[in-house]
Structure 1
Amino acid sequence: MATTKIDRAQVADTALRLLNEVGLDGLTLRAIAKELGVQAPALYWHFKNKQALLDEMATVMYRRMAADGPPGADEPTWQDQLCAVNRALRAMLLSHRDGAKVYGGARFTGTDHAESLELYLGRMCQEGWELRDAVRAGTLAYAYTMGFVAEEQGSAPRPEERGEPFDVAARAERLAAYPLAAAAGPHLFTSYDERFEEGLTVLVAGIEATYRPHG
């Protein structure tokens, strides 16, 4: 291979591109190095292991999501803001194969995310929320979105596969001895957009009833 000078940004960008082709399990440092035209050890100058690379990839994913400013910053209410943030998060995760797996549990390598967090928490606190409750509300919504997308991508892991129908009829036939479980198929494996929005509505109502200051 030719000697090529690379930097962290090149490695992360290449890794995200390959992610859509091979998935997280197939994303090896060797494969990334081959794509960049370098030997695998060259990557260790920038990332000590694969998890360090995943952290950088998640950071780049976030930066791209917030490229036009913190999601939800212009929304009129905290409810609208919370929904906008999580819609943006879901869209970003779905734009990458195994996006939820890469993003979940990653440790950001920069402080870019702090701007959005400060904005969100600042708004909530100004409206009378306790910091603890504002954090709980945000992390609850985040956990909902991450879990929803993880399940969604389990059925259609590639971005271009999103929307392809799960074979509900074959599932129902296989579960014929369990009529309710069989009939639940359409509610489990279709209408992801509708179900996500419905879940957000339920979640926000629960957050408001549980945490929002009254009086």
Structure 2
Amino acid sequence: MASQRSPKLDKKQVVETALRLLNEVGLDGLTLRTIARELDVQAPALYWHFKNKQALLDEMATEMYRRMVADARIPADATWQERILVSQRGLRTALLGYRDGAKVFSGTRFTGIEHAVEMEANLRALVDAGFSVPQAVRATSTAFYFTLGFVTEEQGVWPLPGERREGYDVEERAARMADFPLAASTGAEVFQNYEEGFEEGLRLLIAGVGARYGIK
């Protein structure tokens, strides 16, 4: 009966199934009905664990974060610049592991407080370097927003590694925009070399933070 908890279903199983299906169907195709069908249960059984899709996305983002921090640790003696670099590289790598990973992560809230460990260490490094707490928050949150936005655009071209969407042929784009040579030349920078572009963007951001607040 829909009013009874399914004995073969638990919260972790639902989240793991949802993350696996995400790579197959994407965020738009990931419905509670699709997940229930994969788990061989009725859709109402999922509502014991998640009241709606947003609640599921919150837990998915939390699990993505757990997996991310389990794979990479920031050295305790890292500088504030190194902390931003390492944490955002790790976030980008984690998001790229899932179709629409950046979209899932955006706008969600963590269901636990595991993130407080890394957050506290990163803020402490910036405060010890001379940042005020509000400045440290602005610096770290701006880096986070940069990564989310960057990966969102990157996954618009490459939904998954090795899977490129149609419509992003740089040479064809340049030919169509031949009357606008500067704009035409941007294709190689905008739609290719994402690794290099991300690294350069992060370093520009860090340099800007340091210059803005006068901290080296």
TM-score (norm. length: structure 1): 0.91
State the match for 2:55 in structure 1: 52
2:111 maps to which residue? 109
Instruction: Quote the RMSD (CA, aligned, Å).
Output: 2.0
1:194 equivalent to 2:203? Answer: no
CA contact (8 A) 1:176 1:182 kept: yes
Instruction: Report the residue type matching 1:190 in the other structure.
Output: Q
Provide Cα deviations, 1:88-144, integer angstroms capped at 9, x if missing partner. Answer: 000001011000000011010011101110111122222322100000100011111
Instruction: Select the residue among 37, 41, 49 that pairs with 1:38.
Output: 41
Q: Taking structure 1 as reference, are residues 97 and 173 closer, same or farther at Cα in structure 2, changes over 3 Å only? A: same
Instruction: Say whether 1:24 aligns with 2:27.
Output: yes
Quote the residue 2:124 is aligned against.
122
Partner of residue 80, structure 2: 78
Deviates more, 1:201-210 or 1:120-129: 120-129
d(CA) in 2 for partners of 1:162 and 1:137? 32
CA contact (8 A) 1:97 1:159 kept: no
Distance in 2 (CA, whole Å) between partners of 1:165 and 1:201 is 30
What's the CA shift string for 1:130-163, capped at 9, x where partnerless?
Answer: 1000001000111111111010001111244269
1:152 counterpart residue number = 154
Give the 3-state SS of the residue equivalent to 1:161 in structure 2: coil
- The separation in 2 between residues aligned to 1:92 and 1:168, in whole angstroms, is 27
The residue aligned with 2:3 is: none
Partner of 2:69: 66
Q: Please, which moves more after superposition, 77-86 or 123-132? A: 123-132
Normalization by structure 2: what TM-score? 0.91
Identity of aligned residues (%): 57
CA drift of 1:187 comes to: 1.3
